[in-house]
Amino acid sequence: MTLIRIDNTPLSYPWGAAGGISALLGREPSGGPEAELWLGSHPKAPSRVLEPGAAWSDLHQWETETGQQLPFLLKILDAAAPLSLQAHPSAEQAALGFDREERAGIPVDAPHRNYRDPRPKPEMIVALSDRFEALCGFRDPAHTTDLLQEGARGSGPAGALLRTWAYMLTEQGIARTVRWLLGDAPEIPQLIGQLQAAAERHPEKLGLVSRLLAEYPGDPGAAVAVMLNHELLSAGEALWLPAGNIHAYLHGTGIELMGPSDNVLRGGLTGKHIDVPELLHVLDISFGPPARLRPAARQVGLRSYRTAEGPENRGAPFELLEITGEAEFRTETPSVIAVLSGSFTVTAEDTGTVQDAARGQFLLQATPGLLSLRGTGRAFLATGRRAVST
């Protein structure tokens, strides 16, 4: 079975938009929030196998019983409210952290568990909606200190902790400042109050703070957010988020390709477990503009989202192909096709296997090889990448 029909049900996290993923895929709404639809083999929510007579009920079972590996997890994401601030570990950090928590006897589904599998979770996100909004990586601390000084100006003692924050960031750096903001220092609630007051005085500069604190009252993650790049993506624009990058998606619909992992170290804007020392252990505290991925045309009707560097040089070990017409290409690993509009006839040329896929339908290419797509619309294909460079 070279081309296998698969599907899944959206996960109903509270931040998801009501019926948004169903509307995108041309389906009846579920009646609740639809946050993410997972297309992959991760045991938390493996994709179902739809083929009659198939030997596997889902892709986790397919992976376990065939010995093949799907080297990524593809997600359709629809955020109506901010996700948690988070960072993901490197391959080495994930393996060591998972082994450490296994030896400690912490159940994999325990709320305070940090490492639920031994794999890294680098990721890229491609906006499907205009004005996809995200926080991504630390910006130049000088810009943050200028903003804090402006927010404190004219407030007298009511802005003292904002000035302390600016001084600490300048003199002690990002890591020490994040540790202070997310720690248990008794002055942090007062600092959040001063930040909220500054946001009310300067909505044009700090309006995001008011939004975040309205969703998560008193959460110091709103303060960390002030230190991050605030990005607005138009449809088709993309971000690359390697290991250690601190980020949060705030609003919009996107298609996300990542490592086949659910390892998340959180830093606020959540009611879930936050382990500040472990977050700081994996956190990349470098600063600068985030990495935007510009799609490269490979053929008429086919373009690729991929990092310039390959996996050996901290680049993405996968790529996402956008297909809008007839296309032919060769894959190196098992791959997943997601059709978002129109319809395509998909042929695995090496075996002659043919499947039709229309809007809202998904296929697993179980055996790598030459693929051709004929039709019109818009589809995405996620595939692993072994080459070091473009």
149-197 pLDDT tens trace: 999 988 888 899 999 999 999 999 999 999 999 999 999 999 999 999 9
Fold of 296-384: Jelly Rolls (2.60.120)
Domain ranges of the chain: 9-136+231-284, 140-226, 296-384
CA distance 310 to 332: 14
pLDDT of 146 over the 80 cut: yes
pTM: 0.94
pLDDT band at 82 (very low <50, low <70, confident <90, very high): very high
Residue pLDDT, tens place only, 293-346: 999 999 999 999 999 876 555 678 999 999 999 999 999 999 999 999 999 999
Q: Which residues contact 239 (CB under 8 A, 6 or more apart)?
A: 124, 125, 134, 136, 231, 233, 247, 290, 291, 292, 293
Torsion-angle region of residue 235: left (phi > 0), alpha (psi -120 to 50) or beta? beta
The model's pLDDT over 219-246, given as tens digits with 9 standing for 90+, comes to 999 999 999 999 999 999 999 999 999 9
pLDDT over 60 (residue 148): yes
Q: Based on the residue annotation, tell me whether 266 is a catalytic residue of this protein.
A: yes
Whether 9-136+231-284 shares its CATH topology with 296-384 is answered yes
Q: Hey, what are 335's tokens?
A: 């791959």
- The tens digit of pLDDT for each residue in 241-298 reads 999 999 999 999 999 999 999 999 999 999 999 999 999 999 999 999 999 999 999 9
Determine the residue type at 38: W
Give me the pLDDT at residue 315, please. Answer: 79
3-class SS string, the chain: CCEEEEECCCECCCCEEECHHHHHHCCCCCCCEECEEEECCCCCCCCEECCCCCCCCEHHHHHHHHCCCCCCEEEEEEECCCCCCEECCCHHHHHHHHHHHHHCCCCCCCCCCCCCCCCCCCEEEEECCCCEEEEEEECCHHHHHHHHHHHHCCCHHHHHHHHHHHHHHHHHHHHHHHHHHHCCCCCHHHHHHHHHHHHHHCHHHHHHHHHHHHHCCCCCHHHHHHCEEEEEECCCCEEEECCCCCEEEEEEEEEEEECCCCCCEECCCCCCCCCHHHHHHHCCCCECCCEEECCEEEECCEEEECCCECHHHCCCCEEEEEECCCEEEECCCCEEEEEEEEEEEEEECCCCEEEEEECCCEEEECCCCEEEEEEEEEEEEEEECCCCEC
Beta-bridge partners for 58: 48
Chain centre to alpha carbon of residue 240? 9
pLDDT confidence of residue 310: 60
User: Distances in Å between the alpha carbon of 270 and those of 85, 267, 363?
Assistant: 8, 8, 34
- Give the closest residue to 47 by CA, choosing from 361, 275, 263: 361
Class in CATH terms, 9-136+231-284: mainly beta
Catalytic, out of 266, 303, 306, 385: 266
Whether the CB-CB separation of 40 and 74 falls below 8 Å is answered with yes
